[in-house]
């Protein structure tokens, strides 16, 4: 064979691989942020559930403090719900970007594979032609020896 296969668009493939890797990191970071907000929201909801009952035997000041605390929790829950929705939207955007990067990279990889297969077929054909020529020369040489000796 005349040499190893060299893909002319290897730099493009490397660039697309880098884009995909960066996109994966961004996606993981967005997913981590969303999970943190979700965990915080669940914690706030648990706190709200644990303290939502205001007992009548408590003093008015304690009831008022508890009510203010519950209002603050409720406000935080509403705020975190909005943040969670935003993080969900960002995560979806990152997921779509990652899919696009994967498709773009896969397109170039498929092109590389097809060109490599074509290259190998061409190399095999060249090798087969050389082998056929060697066999033909050997046949002619052996045939002239046999017929030349008679």
- Domain span including residue 84: 10-149
Q: d(Cα 93, Cα 90) in Å, to the nearest integer?
A: 5
The CATH number of the domain holding residue 88 is: 1.10.287.1700
| Residue 2 placed within a domain | no
> Does residue 43 sit within a domain?
yes
pLDDT tens digits, 50-94: 888 877 788 889 889 999 999 999 999 999 999 999 999 999 999
**Rounded to whole angstroms, how far apart are CA atoms 49 and 40?**
14
pTM over 0.85: no
**In-domain check, residue 15:** yes
3-state SS string for 44-107: HHHHHHHHCCCCCCCCHHHHHHHHHHHHHHHHHHHHHHHHHHHHHHHHHHHHHHHHHHHHHHHH
Structure confidence by residue, pLDDT tens digits, 122-133: 999 999 999 999
Phi, psi of 118 (to 5 degrees): -60, -45
* Tally of structural domains, the chain: 1
């Amino acid at each position: 064979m005349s040499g190893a296969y060299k893909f002319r668009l290897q730099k493009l493939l490397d660039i697309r691989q880098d884009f995909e890797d960066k996109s994966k990191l961004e996606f993981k970071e967005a997913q981590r942020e969303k999970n943190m907000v979700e965990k915080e929201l669940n914690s706030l909801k648990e706190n709200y559930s644990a303290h939502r009952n205001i007992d009548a035997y408590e003093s008015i000041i304690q009831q008022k403090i508890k009510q203010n605390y519950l209002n603050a929790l409720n406000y935080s829950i509403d705020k975190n719900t909005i943040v969670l929705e935003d993080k969900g939207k960002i995560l979806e955007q990152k997921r779509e970007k990652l899919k696009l990067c994967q498709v773009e990279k896969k397109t170039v990889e498929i092109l590389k594979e097809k060109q490599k297969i074509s290259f190998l077929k061409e190399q095999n054909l060249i090798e087969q032609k050389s082998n056929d020529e060697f066999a033909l020369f050997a046949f002619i040489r052996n045939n002239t020896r046999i017929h030349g000796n008679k």
